[in-house]
Structure 1
């Protein structure tokens, strides 16, 4: 593919960093919008220009106005929404599609997946397996689901693990029922989703669609957990059953652009889908496995035809050292574990033998080493500092429930 001028919609998520890596390796010219916070793309040699913007989480409409200004003053071949900016762009798809290549789904389909209760209903209607799930519409009804405990209680719009609670006993359930966000959901006529946990391995699923047709797919197993439930190590797998499920879901929603799903592989090796997100999540493992997701996303964004699904390879191992180090701090393992993790990576031992770094490829983009050393140094001084690295409140690149109401209001 010839060099393209690409604009990424945010600079702070792991997904943005990995999309940047794929684009940089393939010689594309990349600019980013940046709303503050810890930026994984900061000082990367692959970023040509950084545009300051309002925080998307605080005010998606102000963010969109800034994006509109940029696209009318500079020429881009493609805009890639690397996080929940896809949701907002879908709301105004015709306008932004006229300014640059863009692949976003119909807003009606986005509204279905943004509401976890509605998404669960669609999965059930299509026969896609889920954990035991119940939708509740009031405080009394929520108190009556004690038979499902332990269970996750999820708000209709929840992101980055916010608005999701693991409830283990009726007392905790009663407390959740009184939370303002839960009461506001019931008052607005919405439903809260209650879902039983499933024991098993996390399966990370990614897809790219062309107006309902599946044109890209990848599955990977989380081999090691990272900070806040992320994956510090992945291994690609081939799952024809998941591809068939993705095909049905895309056709039902007439999805256009990227989509990601989390699933748990149960004791029978059956995927049980637990979360659907309108974006592409951390695509480097997929690229190394041959799934070609980012190129296919670019092609669809420009109205091209990507061709048949490529044969992705299983057994491709990748890791994110930063997420592993932060995980040790999160669970209180302390300095010894952090230093040991760093040494294992340097010596290519344990999981790091035969595995590729996917988040901060320092040999190709050396600024990643500065970032990694700085964060590791802070944690070695005080492991508790990991909490401050994430900041307070929702990340600037995510869509809050308040932001969602502004979009649909």
Structure 2
């Protein structure tokens, strides 16, 4: 593929999965710009279902169940289809990083970092150590290697106990008292980490809202950045309402982090905001681009820059986004009511407020399922809302309790760290 990207050209783009919120939002940005989009689809309920912007669906194994089989399927699709660019919208980036030389030989545009950098970002214990080395602010955190060390962390409560490899808010528990700490220490997932010689994080809980920062790097140089404030929590720790922020401090932190890792491609970081002092403490890093529609609406189109980066274009400094751009995810808010037991009345009230543009929805744009631009999203929203109105307890079945199809499980991570050749 020729170096550089034509901003007026319509590319044939393959997304590595079909089910995550991030894939849905990347699809929205690409669809609005009339790129031709295909997706790797492992079946089941997903956010891209029925979208008019998906031109081709390629059946694939579940990435979470067997990343090696998934990679084989992806390789075959790229070998026999004519795509210009491959965008890893979730943790497939990790697998592609592990085998980026093999995939780069296919001639498709792809921007992923080296695997050693991914090891550091994906392993929460390694990331904590890197943040400490760089002097980047983070909550008081202990790395513990056995159950007795974990039970001794009562002085840090309330805290979050985190597995070293976890995704989609799974493998993270908020612990408020010694009894909860003891119960968490007895969990099979925690004991398995200790049995394998790994470390579990105990991170002091800080007050304040969550900041979500997204970035793009060109071999360690920051070429795209955007920051939003989570104004309202959605189901399983997602964001149902956001507003864009101008926090230069966060962008400086991102630049330091990406430079230290020599990162290439997308990277996202979560932090807790001290609203009084306008400072942050970083709590998580994700080797992917998380939900980029707010960035697009705020004037920082990270997806378009991602396309250019994947084609080998030289990008300038990150454009500055407009602060105060409000977006929401109605579906995440609806399911959140069921998750916390608020019942049918709260769900109906939420839907009514969204329809009328009141409350959180005043002056805000839908980012997950833009019904006017892609009307099929109404079927998904209607079906899930109807199920929850029939029985709010169905949220567990809809959300799932195991690793999502698009996420990397701890077992999958172990498989990827073992030698493998095509």
Instruction: Specify the TM-score bucket, using the shorter chain as the normaliser.
Output: over 0.9
Structure 2 Cα separation of the partners of residues 339 and 43 of structure 1: 25
Equivalent residue number for residue 351 of structure 1: 360
- In structure 2, the residue matched to 1:41 is 48
Of residues 155, 159, 180, the one that matches 1:151 is: 159
Of 11, 17, 27, which aligns to 1:4? 11
Q: CA deviation at 1:255?
A: 0.4
Q: Deviations over 1:189-236 (max 9, x none)?
A: 221111010100110100011110000000000111111111111000
Q: CA deviation at 1:392?
A: 4.0
SS at match of 1:207: strand
Alignment-derived partner of residue 302 in structure 1:
311
User: What residue number does 1:94 align with?
Assistant: 101
Task: Choose which of 26, 49, 72 in structure 2 pairs with 1:19.
Answer: 26
SS in 1 for 2:166: strand
Q: Which runs of 5+ in 2 are unaligned?
A: 1-6
Q: TM-score, normalised by structure 1?
A: 0.98
2:119 corresponds in structure 1 to 111
Partner of 1:30: 37
Counterpart CA distance in 1 for 2:304 and 2:286 is: 20
Runs of 4+ deviating beyond 4 Å = none
Choose the corresponding residue for 1:253, options 255, 261, 270: 261
Q: 1:207 aligns to what? A: 215
Question: Are 1:395 and 2:404 counterparts?
Answer: yes
Question: In the alignment, is the contact (CA less than 8 A) between 1:41 and 1:47 conserved in 2?
Answer: yes
2:386 is aligned with 1:377: yes
Unpaired segments ≥5 residues, structure 1: none
CA contact (8 A) 1:37 1:391 kept: no
Let me know the Cα RMSD of the aligned residues.
1.1
Counterpart pick for 2:345 among 316, 319, 336: 336
Which residue of structure 1 lines up, in the alignment, with residue 139 of structure 2? 131
Query: Which sits farther off after the overlay, 42-51 or 376-385?
Result: 376-385
Tell me how far apart the structure 1 counterparts of residues 241 and 186 of structure 2 sit (CA, whole Å). 38
Indicate the residue corresponding to 1:196 in structure 2.
Answer: 204
| 3-state SS, counterpart of residue 244 of structure 2 | strand
Please give the alpha-carbon distance, in whole angstroms, between the structure 2 residues aligned to 1:386 and 1:175. Answer: 25
Structure 1: how far apart are the matches of 2:192 and 2:360? 45
Does 175-184 or 150-159 show the bigger shift? 175-184
Q: Which residue of 47, 56, 62 maps to 2:63?
A: 56
3-state DSSP of counterpart to 1:265 = strand
Is the 1:321–1:357 contact (alpha carbons within 8 Å) kept by the matching residues of 2? yes
Instruction: For 2:243 and 2:62, locate their aligned partners in 1 and report how far apart those are by CA, in whole Å.
Output: 33
SS in 2 for 1:158: coil
Aligned-partner SS, 2:308: helix
- In structure 1, C-alpha distance between the alignment counterparts of 2:176 and 2:149, rounded to whole Å: 17
The answer for the alignment partner of 2:188 in structure 1 is: 180
TM-score (norm 2): 0.95
> Shift of the alpha carbon at 1:318?
0.5
Q: Are positions 1:321 and 2:315 aligned together?
A: no
Q: Is the CA contact 1:10–1:35 (under 8 Å) kept in the aligned structure 2?
A: yes
